[in-house]
A and B are shown apart, each in its own frame.
Chain A
Amino acid sequence: MPDQTTRRTFLSLAGGAAVLGVTLRPAEATPAMLSSAIRNVVGEAPVRTGKVRLDVPPLVENGNTVPMTVSVASPMTAQDYVKSIHVFNEKNPQPNIGNFYLGPRAGRAQISTRIRLADSQKVVAIAHLSDDTFWSVSVDVVVTLAACTEEVI
């Protein structure tokens, strides 16, 4: 029957395409990956909200270069300073963005860089202080043109 053949061919093609689509598409970092990436850094320590400021544009046209500044309210003295700053995202293929290690000599706990965002999502910054407490902030960013996973032409 020409009718059935067409239908069967169509279905197998559609199925094949679906499988192909799944295998080609890189996995997105799920919120579970985000929290496990954060656990890898902080361990069992509690993470409190505050002290950290994350400056990133709320609306981004091009996810390939998003300017980002993280600053932490800290006196940066030999007794009380920021050890490190860790930045994470929710929906890129990988939850980590960068780890930045400072010390009391930095004078000011602030770093800037440019990042890639593959989707509209939450960006999280966590600061590790010298008294081994962790402080965090999260910011929602809307991205119109996604980065990371586009085809190479």
Chain B
Amino acid sequence: MPAALINVPRKAKRGDVIEIKTLMSHIMETGYRHLASGEVVPRDIITSFSCRYNGTEIFRADLFPAIAANPFITFFTTATESGTFEFDWIGDKGFSETATASIIVE
């Protein structure tokens, strides 16, 4: 059951630089581990993460197997207007999850 945790300030002053913290639950199987029988466990990772602020992309990341399980990513943005942040995670085996958060800018 995928679940996202998003931390965005509820309110901010116009022009403030705010921190956005995101976490998506995901195994991030590297594809380099093998079972005792020698079989390789196939790769299953999130390959791409992006964030849009009122429709405009403000942050994007390409992820590799070297990103730890349950990818936790934080970044900054300038609060320009009230609205919503949309987050997208895309990965192997058709993984695709979204989450949103809203902010009031005064």
Nearest CB in chain B to that of A97: its residue: B66
A residues in contact with B3, CB < 8 Å: none
A residues contacting the other copy or chain, number (CB 8 A): 37
Q: Given A148-B30, A151-B34, A151-B35, do A106 and B58 touch, yes or no (CB 8 Å)?
A: yes
Contact, CB under 8 Å: A116 / B34: no
Nearest CB of chain A from residue B70's CB, rounded to whole Å: 8
B residues in contact with A148, CB < 8 Å: 30, 32-33, 65-66
Nearest CB in chain B to that of A117: its residue: B66
A31: interface (CB < 8 Å): no
B interface, size bucket? 20 to 34
Contact, CB under 8 Å: A113 / B74: yes
A57: interface (CB < 8 Å): no
B90: interface (CB < 8 Å): no
A12: interface (CB < 8 Å): no
Nearest CB in chain B to that of A23: its residue: B38
Contact digits for A84-128, partner B, Cβ 8 Å, 1 yes 0 no: 000001001110111111110111111111111100000000000
